[in-house]
A and B are shown apart, each in its own frame.
Chain A
């Protein structure tokens, strides 16, 4: 079946550092890929998405490129802020049996210190 693997956290960075959170996937067909963010005490929010190979999703300074050849969708940000501290989830669309569901990674906690 489909699966998503994320780097384990927590990732601890100082403010203004460069961020990479790795995400690789296993899937049949051509899934869409997503990054969600969960701030403390809240539900998940869609951060960005990409629907086909070589697409780049971007939002709030975060970027991720859909790499089919390496089955990856790594999240990057050039300069993190304390307010970026959250848990980040990589996900892929799953359309087995005609229903559209999402398969999530286990999440990566990011802690940014001033």
Chain B
């Protein structure tokens, strides 16, 4: 079974802090993704990565950056956290082989910025 783990289930940070959310997958997947999930808005893609050190902007990249130094690890960084970044953050990975498109999700990190 594919396993995607996220470093924290719950996180509380103060406005202006730098926040790191970590995601690790154990199935040698090429692609990794960060989403945020908000009530009434569903899942929105923040950034994704299709290879080590490569990244692409998703639909809502503003206020976020990412890092992928190793294939299994994908980090989401909030350079200066703001209250409107309070949300559930979900990491996912996918194999990357043509025709195999499904993504596997971690349990999520619920971030509260006060």
Contacts and interface: CB of A to CB of B under 8 A. Distances in A.
Contacts of A104: 42-43
Given A42-B108, A43-B90, A43-B108, A102 B103 contact: yes
A45 interface: yes
A101 B102 CA distance: 9
Interface residues of A, number: 21
Size band of the interface chain B makes with A: 20 to 34
A105 to B, nearest CB: 6
B64 interface: no
A77 interface: no
A101 B42 contact: no
Interface of B: 4, 31, 33, 40-43, 45, 48, 50, 56, 58, 90, 92, 94, 96, 99, 101-108
